[in-house]
Structure formats: structure tokens, C-alpha cells
């Protein structure tokens, strides 16, 4: 990759890593489901008026929107609101690559090779270590919700592979429209209209900056830059940069939020990032997928990037 594109890839990883710190700050202004709804609303508007009509069947747009927008982000934001640290969240969410690989083997009949199986085992060992660390420094409920969010992300990756959208940007903008009303409805039901109205009435410049960052910087810029790189270079050249996301997430959380990084958490990071790298970048067994599926891997990255989170498995061919 050219130096300027290498720098861009590192910048995107930094943007996505810092995104977890911004979410943590945003949860001090908004209830988690309301924050997630506002994030998708601002990300979808006004972009939806400029990308044209949907180029993918609505069943796939709705399915990915529910799995990625409602389930994954609803669980992630709620887990962080329940006390899951921002840095640890950026790390644990990487286990989505294991869920994606398992679901792809069950639904898409993609047989993981021995390197990929070993990578999944290493990543799961990292999750086990992170669970031990989280059990001593944070609530079990928050940890469980973030792991569940990673599982929902895996579901959305496989759904995106099935959809194989011809235009990733068009697809993701329309996907962002789906979670808005369900998340607002869930927020009213579970968080209460009084709490939501109080948050909106108390909106200040810092709350507005949070929404702008998670919607425009993390989503619009992050997705646009990552998709630009995927169009110019093989996914195997771009995907490794997403492994920097938890590094930036943990370090920025330590610097900005004062989160401590224990020895166990460093061990978990090494195991999880190494396992994700093996799972994401290992070649598939011959004959399991075609070039058409490899192209779908790039669009799978688009689904992951809509979150402003690391698409390590999504960007790597052939499993998103």
C-alpha cells in the first residue's frame, strides 16, 4: 500500500478505536437505546436522499438493519451503560469474527481450515481471560451483553454475505434507516419518555458532538475511507489494520477516561487479536467459495463499518 493509504488505514482504526470512548461519554448524556437511535438517524439523514433507490432486496436491508442496528448496537450500548469499560468493549467485540466463522460454516457451508479453527480457539481463550478480568473489575451483565452484541454482529455479517449488495454505500445508508424507529420505540418502552425527553432537553454542545462523531466521523468517514481502501487493495492487505482498533480503544480509554489496563487484559488482548488475525486472514479451503463470494466479503466489511467498529473478519476474504 502507498504510504498515504497506509496512514489512512491507521487513521480509520484510530477513529473506530476512539469511538468507544465517545460512546462512553455519550452515555453520560443519553440513555443507551436513545443514543443508538440518534446515531442511526443522523447517519441516515440526509445521506438517504443522495444515494438513490435501494439496489438490494428490502428483505436483506431489513434483516441486516435489525441484526446490526437494533440488536448489535442496542446490546453494545446497553452493555457499556451497565458498566462495561470502553477499552474492554473494543477488545471483546472482536470475537465477532469467531461467531461469523461458525455461522458461515453452518449457514453458508464454508468449511474452516485448520489455521482458522486454531485462530477461533485462540480468540476464545482470549475471551475467557477477558471474562476473568471483567469478572474482577466490572459487571458480568455488561460483559455478557457485549459478547451477545458480537454474536449479533456475526449474524449481520452472514446476512450481508447472503445479500451480496452490488453497491455497499447505497446498501449501508438504507440499512441505517431501519433501526431508527425500532430503537426509538424500545427506548420509550424500556427507558421511559420522561428520561428521553430530559436527555433531549438537556442537549448541549458536548452531547451534539458525540452524536456527530459516532454518526459522521465514525460511520460516514470511517466507512467511506475503508471502502475506498478495499476498492484499491486486496482485502487481505486492508483487514490487518482493523486489528489496531482495540489497541487504540484501550489506549484512548486509558488516556481520556482513566481506565486501567491490567496484566490480564493485555494477555486477553494478545490472544484475542492474534486469534482474530488467524481467523480472518487464513485462506479458505479450496473449493469452498468463489470469486463472487470474495467480492461479497468487501460488502460484508461495509456492514461492519456501519458501526464504526472493526470489520476484521468482514474485510478479510472469504469470511466477513
Residue 264 scores a pLDDT above 70:
yes
Whole-number mean pLDDT of the chain?
Answer: 82
In a domain, 271, yes or no: yes
pLDDT at 283: 60
- pTM here is 0.82
The range of the structural domain enclosing residue 80 comes to 3-281
Residue 67 scores a pLDDT above 90:
yes
Pick from 290, 27, 264: nearest CA to 128:
264
In angstroms, rounded to a whole number, what is the distance separating the alpha carbons of residues 260 and 281? 30
Residue 292 scores a pLDDT above 70:
no
In a domain, 292, yes or no: no
pLDDT at 165: 86
Domain count, the chain: 1
In a domain, 307, yes or no: no
In a domain, 135, yes or no: yes
Q: What is the DSSP string of 51-70?
A: S-S-SS-HHHHHHHIIIIII
pLDDT at 167: 84
Residue 184 scores a pLDDT above 50:
yes
In angstroms, rounded to a whole number, what is the distance separating the alpha carbons of residues 29 and 27? 5
Q: 252 and 18 in contact (C-beta within 8 Å)?
A: yes
Q: What is the pLDDT of residues 150-178, one digit of tens each?
A: 999 989 988 988 888 888 888 988 999 99
In a domain, 203, yes or no: yes
In angstroms, rounded to a whole number, what is the distance separating the alpha carbons of residues 20 and 243? 15
The more confident residue out of 316 and 228 is 228
Tell me: cis bond preceding 46? Omega within 30 of 0 counts: yes
Q: What is the pLDDT of residues 86-108, one digit of tens each?
A: 988 988 888 887 888 888 888 87
In a domain, 306, yes or no: no
The most confident of 6-15, 91-100, 125-134, 309-318, by mean pLDDT:
6-15
282-307 mean pLDDT: 44
pLDDT at 285: 55
Output the CA–CA distances (angstroms, integers) from residue 274 to 58, 146, 151, 160, 233, in the order listed. 37, 20, 19, 25, 22
Of the candidate ranges 84-93, 140-149, 293-302, the one whose mean pLDDT is the lowest: 293-302
Q: 16 and 245 in contact (C-beta within 8 Å)?
A: yes
The most confident of 56-70, 163-177, 228-242, by mean pLDDT:
56-70
Q: What share of the chain is helix, strand, coil (3-state, %, to 5)?
A: 80, 0, 20
Residue 307 scores a pLDDT above 50:
no
In a domain, 52, yes or no: yes
Residue 293 scores a pLDDT above 60:
no
205-224 mean pLDDT: 90
224-243 mean pLDDT: 76
pLDDT at 235: 66
213-217 mean pLDDT: 92
Say how many residues make up the chain: 320
Residue 211 scores a pLDDT above 90:
yes
Handedness of CA 228, 230, 232, 238 (dihedral sign): positive
pLDDT at 124: 81
In a domain, 147, yes or no: yes
pLDDT band, residue 70 (cuts 50/70/90): very high
In angstroms, rounded to a whole number, what is the distance separating the alpha carbons of residues 245 and 264? 19
188-192 mean pLDDT: 96
Amino acid at each position: 500500500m502507498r504510504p498515504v493509504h497506509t496512514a489512512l488505514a491507521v487513521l480509520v482504526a484510530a477513529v473506530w478505536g476512539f469511538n468507544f470512548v465517545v460512546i462512553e461519554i455519550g452515555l453520560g448524556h443519553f440513555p443507551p437505546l436513545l443514543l443508538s437511535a440518534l446515531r442511526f438517524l443522523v447517519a441516515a439523514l440526509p445521506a438517504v436522499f443522495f444515494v438513490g433507490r435501494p439496489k438490494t432486496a428490502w428483505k436483506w436491508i431489513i434483516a441486516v438493519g435489525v441484526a446490526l442496528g437494533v440488536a448489535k448496537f442496542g446490546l453494545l450500548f446497553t452493555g457499556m451503560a451497565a458498566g462495561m469499560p470502553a477499552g474492554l468493549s473494543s477488545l471483546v467485540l472482536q470475537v465477532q469474527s469467531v461467531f461469523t466463522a461458525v455461522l458461515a460454516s453452518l449457514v453458508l457451508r464454508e468449511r474452516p481450515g485448520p489455521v482458522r479453527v486454531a485462530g477461533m480457539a485462540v480468540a476464545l481463550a482470549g475471551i475467557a481471560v477477558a471474562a476473568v478480568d471483567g469478572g474482577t473489575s466490572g459487571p458480568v451483565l455488561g460483559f455478557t451483553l457485549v459478547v451477545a452484541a458480537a454474536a449479533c454482529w456475526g449474524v449481520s455479517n452472514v446476512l450481508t454475505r447472503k445479500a451480496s449488495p452490488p453497491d455497499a454505500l447505497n446498501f449501508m445508508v438504507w440499512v441505517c434507516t431501519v433501526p431508527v424507529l425500532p430503537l426509538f420505540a424500545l427506548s420509550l418502552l424500556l427507558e421511559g419518555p420522561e428520561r428521553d425527553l430530559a436527555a433531549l432537553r438537556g442537549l448541549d454542545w458536548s452531547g451534539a458532538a458525540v452524536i456527530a462523531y459516532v454518526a459522521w466521523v465514525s460511520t460516514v468517514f470511517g466507512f467511506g475511507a475503508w471502502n475506498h481502501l478495499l476498492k484499491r487493495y486486496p482485502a487481505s492487505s486492508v483487514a490487518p489494520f482493523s486489528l489496531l482498533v482495540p489497541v487504540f480503544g484501550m489506549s484512548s480509554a486509558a488516556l481520556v477516561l482513566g481506565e486501567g489496563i491490567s496484566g490480564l487484559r493485555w494477555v486477553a488482548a494478545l490472544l484475542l487479536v492474534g486469534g482474530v488475525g488467524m481467523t480472518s486472514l487464513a485462506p479458505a479451503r479450496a473449493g469452498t467459495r468463489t470469486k463472487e463470494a470474495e467480492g461479497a466479503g468487501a460488502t460484508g466489511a461495509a456492514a461492519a463499518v456501519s458501526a464504526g467498529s472493526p470489520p476484521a473478519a468482514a474485510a478479510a476474504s472469504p469470511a466477513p
